[in-house]
Every structure is written in structure tokens, then in C-alpha cells.
Amino acid sequence: MSATLLAVQQTVSTGEAITFWVLGPLALAGGLGMIFARNAVHSALFLVLTMLSLGALYMVQQAPFLGFVQIIVYTGAIMMLFLFVLMLVGRDSSDSVVEVLRGQRLWAGVLGVGLAVLIVAAIARSLNEVTIMGLTGEQANGGDGNVANIGRLIFTDYLFPFELTSALLITAAVGAMILGYVDRHQKGRKTQKELVEARFRGEHDRPSPLPGPGVFATANSVATPALLPDGSVAPESLSRLIEATASQKLERDRKAVAGTLPEPDARALAPGKEDGS
């Protein structure tokens, strides 16, 4: 037990200790939950929990700027984009257990152990060798407070790495945009007028918009199909999405609309009483 370690232990106040013992397990639980959650969105939420706990811990360690930037950038922006993708992919897409890349698990294990060794080594070194500067108070760390110091350092000593990072990020963003929009740029966007003309020339499926859903006395849901003039069901009036999520539930509605269900008896007040519900 070295002298620096003792000094560290002496500077921990009660509030800090309580915060640590509340947030530390929470962060850990978030990390474990992220790995073990079945649902991808739940995994993302657990990760958000971890990031939030870390952000709060940074604040307790007298680094409020780092803490809030962690929350704004990581939790607010990056995880939100993750969530976006997960939600667009769909809630029911589950993980596949098939290894797509050969030897993936082996390499993941090797690299994971390597990373763990690195982190443990870094922490051990920071506990033993690094002298503690202390960040409390306005005068600490060269005066003016933490935030002003960080600002000055970023734009003086660390200007080049900072600009380099931003250039990297911009390159990545522009690259993603070019990859994502290449299709549209080759063809060019049509104006509304050109689209109308193209529709009437028959270049699209149909000249008019899709028919809306039918709303009947028996149901007021958008899942009810519209009827064509001859009484048959207009299949295009049903959204593909609705059909995909609950098609089995609509089967009865369709039968009811098409008139293939047995008629309810004359005294029945509620529709759909005939199947005993």
C-alpha cells in the first residue's frame, strides 16, 4: 500500500463514496445487461444506462465538462443513431447464432483478453505512478477552472490532434453521404410536374395514389380494407406494414367484409358475436 494510494483514500468524501457505490454497480449492471439482453433495443438501453452512470461519475470527479459532453455526445447523439437503426431494422429481428466470419469468436476472445490486460495495466499504473493533481476548486489545475483550461488546451497545445479528429469525422460523414446518395444523384430528382407526367405515361404502377382504407360500421381501424365498386376487396388499400404485423388478425375482418363469414343472428347487437368472443 503506497503513500499515494493512501492519499487517494483520504480524499474520498462520503458523498463521493455513496455516488460511486450507487453508480458503479449500475454501470456494471448496464454493461452486463447489454451483453445478455435478448432484444437489440434493450441492449442499447442498457448501454445508455452505463454511459449515463459514467457521465455522472465524471461529474463527481470534478470533470463536469467531460461528464456532460459524454451525455450529450455519446448518450444523446451516438446511441440515438444506434437506436434509429435498430428500430428501422424491426423489433422482431433476432440475433443469429451462426458465425458469419470464420474464427470470429476466437479472435474476439483474444482481442478481448488483450484489451482487458491493457486496461488493467493502465489502471494499475495510474494508481501507483501518476501523481495526483486534484481538480477541485477554481484555482486548481492552473487557475480559471476546468472548463476554461480544457478550452485553452484544445485550441493551443492540442490544436492539431483536435483538428485532425474533426477532419476524420467530417470525412466519415461525407463518405457515408456519398455512399448513401449515389443512386439518387445519378438519376437526378424529378420535379412534381415531371412525376405527374411520368405517371400518366404509365411509367409507374398506377396514375393515382393508392386507395385509402375502408372504414365501416363494424370497424374503425385502418386495417379494414376498402371495397371496390363491385363489392370485392381492394387489396392495395391495406398497408403492407399492417398486413405484415397482424395479418392473421385481419383474416376474419376480410372475411367479414367479403361476406364469407356466417351471418350473425338477427338479435345480435354486437358484430363478431358469432365466434363466441
Partner 1 sequence: MNRAQLLADDPIWLIAIKCVVLLGFGAIATTAMIILERKIVARMQQRPGPNRVGPNGWFQSLADAIKLPFKEQIIPDTADRKVYFLAPVIATIPAFLALSVIPFGPEVSIFGERTVLQLIDLPVGVLVVLACSSMGVYGIVLAGWASGSPYPLLGGLRSAAQVISYEIALGLSIVAVILYTGSLSTGDIVDAQQTGWYFYLLIPSFLIFIISMVGETNRAPFDLPEAESELVGGFHTEYSSMKFALFFLAEYVNMVIVSAMATTLFLGGYMAPWPLSLINDNMFNSGWWPLLWFLGKVWLFLFAFIWLRGTLPRMRYDQFMRLGWKILVPANLVWIVLVVALRAFRNEEAISAPTILIAGGVVLVLLIGLSFLLPERKVELDDNRVPVTGGGYPIPPLDLRVPDKNAKPARVRRSRREPAAVAAGDKESGAVETQ
Binding site for partner 1 (CB under 8 A): 39, 41-42, 45, 48, 52, 64-65, 68-69, 71-72, 75-77, 80, 83-84, 87-91, 145-148, 187, 190, 192-193, 195-198, 200-207, 209-210, 239-242, 244-246
Burial status of residue 9 (CB atoms within 10 A of its CB: 0-12, 13-18, 19 or more): exposed
CB 245 within 8 Å of CB 92: no
The one-character DSSP state at 132 is: P
- At residue 225, what are phi and psi to the nearest 5 degrees? -75, 155
The 3-state secondary structure of 222-268 reads CCCCEECCCCCEEHHHCCHHHHHHHHHHHHHHHHHHHCCCCCCCCCC
Angle at which helix 14-36 crosses helix 40-60, to 10 degrees, equals 160
CA atoms of 59 and 50, how far apart (whole Å) = 14
- At residue 227, what are phi and psi to the nearest 5 degrees? -105, 140
